[in-house]
Structure 1
């Protein structure tokens, strides 16, 4: 049931998902679904918990930075597959075992990596703000491929007076249109900046 609900949300959008629509997708009467979930909120909580189970948990075999880098990449991948979930992942009032296991492991990775309790809270918030924010921005872009980005940049350049918008013109002409440009590569650059900054803050706190 949850996988069917997730598929429908992926294909049609979360706003169109209803108990009636899910019943049709499953080939059952909508009322029979209430034997499994109490209401749509309960259904959403179950869907979100299933998505958390798709995220790669930080491994205790890796150092904290490597482990959280892999986990952050995995979170982004999940959000790209299920963009409707961005904004809902931490909004539930009854988190399931997948959600709780994920959060506990991330917290434990920071703590075992030498972060104080307060710095762990700061670091978790900062890291996820970047990951979720980037995924949302990436999904909103009007292009998906390198070729589409080049077409868009070329069209913009043709309409941009270089003398009026010199820096935008420079970015489009000399960066976006360069061979091999891929906006997705920006994620790794920003992620490493965040992780390196968190490491510096941890070390500074330890030095006090």
Structure 2
């Protein structure tokens, strides 16, 4: 029988993330995390003092997984676009984190580094301080909202099937514009609802560029 791996803070946080990925943030109890690791709950307290410390740690781990915007000179929109795409990818895997990321009162080093890097891109691009704050709020609200919407949509696996089902029960005379969207857009060959993210992000970035100075 192979020896049991020693418990560390990183292992505890990794296990907590895996528990939340399966059952949501409400499942992330000390007992559940300990069960996932195959240890007694009391063993966790040698590495994390309480559940709040776990929540702080997993939020910081999620931020650490998101690509930082590049610091090299270039179009600020490219840097923010890459960061937004990475954030969407990471948060799609850990959508439970959306309700935690702005609620923690003890941000970790990865969280601080991330926010500072994003603000740095905007400030170096010429955004005033208030406009940089507006931009971060707008972009992050968009990312979070899109991920939340995407995680609850039944369209991700069978867009044509869902569209057919809705259309089959839709009185077209009563809802002509909804019918038009389904037949003239959602049912068109090659339609991919996930591309809406890039389109909406570009609109936001273009609007911010117009107000940059």
In 2, Cα distance between the equivalents of 1:140 and 1:20?
Answer: 28
Q: Distance in 2 between matches of 1:131 and 1:173?
A: 28
Q: Name the Cα RMSD after superposition.
A: 0.9
Which residue pairs with 1:128 in the alignment? 140
The runs of at least 4 consecutive aligned structure 1 residues that moved more than 6 Å come to none
Structure 1 length-normalised TM: 0.94
Query: Residues 108-154 of structure 1: CA distance to partner in whole angstroms, max 9, x if unpaired?
Result: 01001110111111111111111111111111101222xx1110110
Map of 2:170 onto structure 1: 160
Q: Please, which moves more after superposition, 78-87 or 92-101?
A: 78-87
Match of 1:40 in 2: 51
Q: Give structure 1 stretches of 5+ with no counterpart.
A: none
Q: Counterparts of 1:12 and 1:130 in 2: how far apart (Å)? A: 25
1:135-146 counterparts in 2 under 5 A?
A: 135-145=147-157
Structure 2 counterpart of 1:115: 127
Separation in structure 2 between the aligned mates of residue 88 and residue 194 of structure 1, nearest angstrom: 24
Partner of 1:173: 183
Q: Secondary structure at the match of 2:106?
A: coil
Distance 1:16 1:116 in 2: 42
How many residues were matched structurally? 201
Cα deviations by residue, 1:145-196 (Å, 9 ceiling, x for unpaired): 2xx1110110111111111100000001111111111110000000000011
TM score, norm. by length of structure 2? 0.92
Candidates 80, 93, 101, aligned match of 2:92: 80
Instruction: Trace 1:1-208 onto structure 2 (pairs within 5 A).
Output: 1-61=12-72, 62-145=74-157, 148-202=158-212, 206=213
The runs of 5 or more residues in structure 2 that have no matched partner are 1-11
- Aligned partners of 1:126, 1:18: CA distance in 2, in Å? 32
